[in-house]
Amino acid sequence: MLILMGLNSPREHINQVKEKIISLGCTPHEIPGDSKLAIGITGPSDKVVKEDFLLMPSVEEVVRVSKKYKLVSREMKSEDTLINVNGNIIGGEELLIIAGPCSVESRDQIFDIAGQLKEMGIKFLRAGAYKPRSSPYAFQGLKEKGLEYLADVKKELGMNIVTEALNQNTIEAVCNVADVIQLGARNMQNFTLIEEIGKTQKPILLKRGMSATVEELLLSAEYIVSQNNYNVILCERGIRTFETATRNTLDLNAIPVIKKNSHLPIIVDPSHGVGIWDKIPAMAMASIASGADGLIVEVHPNPEKAFSDGFQSLNPSTFKSLIAKLQELAPVVNKKLTLN
């Protein structure tokens, strides 16, 4: 349920509405927006009687939200959510491009690629310090050392860092370095971890689980937003299907579906979605054409030598041609890509 009140409603009236919601055993959420003052109600809705609220001063409208997810839905908040990361606005006209290697491998490797990306005008560097790997024998990341190198890159090159928190023990260390915390596909339904990360109030890149439906992705985002953290960037990264020609099946259907049903920004990871480097530029372009707010792309200075995901990593020159093409495409879908 959603209570809409006049923008200039007295605080006293707003508090009366919130107190009534609490007295019914539900939780009130003041939803950011600039056209109306909106208070979302979550919790057992059977006791909430629409007419009781309509009688209260300053209440203009009471709307029933039909979806299972509430706070992340467009029904609750019709305006797009814009996320400000150090002055970069995500979810608006400007495309978000996050690029970098799958993993931090050494100080030299991360400084090499970060320097090249910065030169191209990329402002967000991705690289995992803690890596969730399918095999226990595969490279698991440089862990704390990797975070240290990322902190140095941030200090020396001023890039925004996107890196994954794998479990509760890594949240604090990751939080100290990351500008955006990545929550990986394998953890999308690790609800206690999601809640903990949500509480940090940091921007979160929430990747879709490889077997998760769009509704499940949005319900996971709801766990974060219900911690009053609206800084959630959704990410489509491919799902498991019967198709084996590519690593995953990039579900671009999800983009217009999510855009219609949620106010949160959504970006696409064509690298994990496709898994084969030479198919990635085409799917990156298709992602932006389908209305995504940006991309996260694996770029390695020397893909043949990568410790993880080398086969799906672009080299710097292929990536550079891709961003030039994206710059041409952006205005066609009312977006822009500023590289400087």
**By the 8 A CB rule, do 125 and 88 touch?**
no
Residue type, 288: I
User: Does residue 272 touch ligand PEP according to CB under 6 A?
Assistant: yes
Hey, what's the torsion of the CAs at 296, 300, 301, 307, to 10 degrees? 150
User: Does residue 309 touch Mn ion according to CB under 5 A?
Assistant: yes
Residue 104-133 contact track with ligand PEP, rule CB under 6 A, x = bound: ------------------------x---x-
Report long-range pairs for 131-135 (Cβ below 8 Å, ≥24 apart): 131/102, 131/103, 131/164, 131/166, 131/308, 132/164, 132/166, 132/184, 132/186, 132/187, 133/308
Distance CA 294, CA 337 (A): 9
Q: How far is the CB of 220 from ligand PEP (least distance, A)?
A: 13
Q: How far is the CB of 23 from ligand PEP (least distance, A)?
A: 42
| Unique residue bearing structure tokens 């209305």 | 291
Task: Pick between residue 16 and residue 302 the one whose CB is nearest to ligand PEP.
Answer: 302
Residue 255-294 contact track with Mn ion, rule CB under 5 A, x = bound: ----------------------------------------
Task: Pick between residue 293 and residue 309 the one whose CB is nearest to Mn ion.
Answer: 309
Q: How far is the CB of 288 from ligand PEP (least distance, A)?
A: 19
User: Does residue 281 touch ligand PEP according to CB under 6 A?
Assistant: no
> Of 1, 39, 99, 102, which lies in the binding site for ligand PEP, with binding defined by CB under 6 A?
102
User: Does residue 268 touch ligand PEP according to CB under 6 A?
Assistant: no
How many residues comprise the chain? 340
Residue 206-245 contact track with ligand PEP, rule CB under 6 A, x = bound: -x-----------------------------x--------
> Which residue sits closest to ligand PEP, CB atoms considered?
184
Distance CA 83, CA 102 (A): 24
Q: Where are the alpha helices (DSSP H) in the chain?
A: 11-23, 50-54, 107-120, 144-157, 171-177, 191-199, 214-225, 254-261, 270-274, 280-289, 316-329
- Give the interface with Mn ion as residue ranges (CB under 5 A): 102, 309
- Give the interface with ligand PEP as residue ranges (CB under 6 A): 102, 128, 132, 184-186, 207, 237, 272
